[in-house]
């Protein structure tokens, strides 16, 4: 599968979408979804044949679905979890997603899942290891795998490649697609002191089939990828740049904590239309109350902790 051009992979621009979350199940069973498509967390529906699968079947009858995983652990040194991949394929055979994605990371060792998206050492050895595993997964799933750049908070001293270089080479070796999370680029750029615009300009744009947008949190010493706030202005600027460079790909708003009511979620993702016209909302990066206490000790008694 050495075809890094997303259009040759037959993956369309689905428009504007949101994550399918249990908070909105009742609303979605009673109302039109309004948005163009939905992304599900694959693991939430694997071997789950209860009400959530019922809602998924209902929504899938109305809108396209994309499956997004968090446990493939494509970068692990453990052997591939063939039972997990079998269950993933079974779900895909039923849901018929437009594509399947996961993260460029590892999630544990000795087959213990830490439920964290852990960063890879960005070396040639790691690149060859991941490329071999991606090719095997694509053979099992019988479709291209779409991989997302994670947000990171540490780097390996052994790394000899930049993440954008690693991803470019991985696409060339495997023909996989890319899920460009511009919020993660923003977070990692701040944490590791690199220019997020340079990152976005130097990935293989034809391989990008989807973009994630989200709201992070300023924790004073670092940015944290919290998915619990409105998208801030600098992330919207990166989003517009990415859409210009890719020629336009599917957009997904991630919001996983402090989830707003469904109409407010739709209003947030719809801001993307105005952004593409050059109209940017004035939204700062959300700053925790704790960070304010640390940075402004005089105001300590005026602050409360963020919940």
Per-residue pLDDT 10s for the chain (307 aa) are 443 444 446 799 999 999 999 999 999 999 999 999 999 999 999 999 899 999 999 999 999 999 999 999 999 999 999 999 999 999 999 999 999 999 999 998 888 899 999 999 999 999 999 999 999 999 999 999 999 999 999 999 999 999 999 999 999 999 999 999 999 999 999 999 999 999 999 999 999 999 999 999 999 999 999 999 999 999 999 999 999 999 999 999 999 999 999 999 999 999 999 999 999 999 999 998 765 544 433 332 332 222 2
For residue 232, give every residue at least 6 positions away whose Cβ sits within 8 Å of its Cβ, in sequence order, or none.
215, 216, 283, 284, 285, 286
**Do residues 240 and 281 lie in contact, with contact meaning Cβ atoms separated by under 8 Å?**
no
**In the CATH scheme, what is the homologous superfamily, with its name and number, of domain 16-302?**
Divalent-metal-dependent TIM barrel enzymes (3.20.20.150)
Q: In degrees rounded to 5, what are phi and psi of residue 272?
A: -60, -35
DSSP label at residue 9: T
């Amino acid at each position: 599968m050495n075809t890094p051009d997303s259009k040759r992979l037959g993956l369309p621009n689905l428009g504007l979408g949101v994550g399918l979350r249990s908070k909105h199940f009742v609303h979605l069973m009673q109302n039109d979804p309004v948005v163009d498509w939905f992304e599900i967390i694959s693991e939430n529906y694997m071997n789950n044949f209860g009400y959530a699968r019922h809602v998924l079947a209902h929504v899938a009858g109305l809108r396209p679905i994309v499956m997004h995983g968090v446990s493939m652990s494509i970068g692990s040194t453990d052997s591939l979890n063939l039972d997990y991949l079998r269950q993933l394929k079974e779900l895909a055979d039923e849901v018929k997603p437009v594509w399947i994605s996961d993260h460029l990371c590892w999630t544990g060792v000795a087959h213990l899942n830490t439920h964290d998206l852990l960063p890879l050492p960005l070396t040639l050895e790691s690149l060859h290891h991941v490329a071999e595993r991606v090719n095997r997964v694509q053979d099992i799933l019988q479709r291209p795998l779409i991989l997302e750049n994670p947000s990171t908070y540490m780097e390996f001293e052994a790394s000899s490649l930049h993440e954008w270089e690693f991803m470019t080479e991985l696409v060339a070796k495997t023909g996989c697609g890319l899920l460009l999370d511009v919020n993660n680029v923003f977070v990692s750029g701040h944490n590791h002191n690199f220019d997020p615009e340079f990152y976005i300009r130097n990935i293989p744009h034809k391989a990008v089939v989807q973009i994630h947008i989200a709201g992070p949190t300023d924790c004073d010493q670092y940015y944290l990828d919290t998915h619990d706030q409105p998208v801030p202005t600098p992330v919207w600027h990166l989003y517009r740049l990415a859409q210009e460079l890719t020629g336009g790909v599917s957009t997904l708003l991630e919001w996983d904590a402090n989830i707003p009511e469904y109409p407010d979620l739709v209003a947030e993702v719809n801001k993307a239309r105005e952004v593409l016209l050059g109209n940017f909302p004035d939204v700062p990066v959300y700053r925790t109350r704790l960070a304010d206490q640390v940075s402004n000790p005089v105001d300590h008694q005026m602050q409360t902790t963020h919940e």
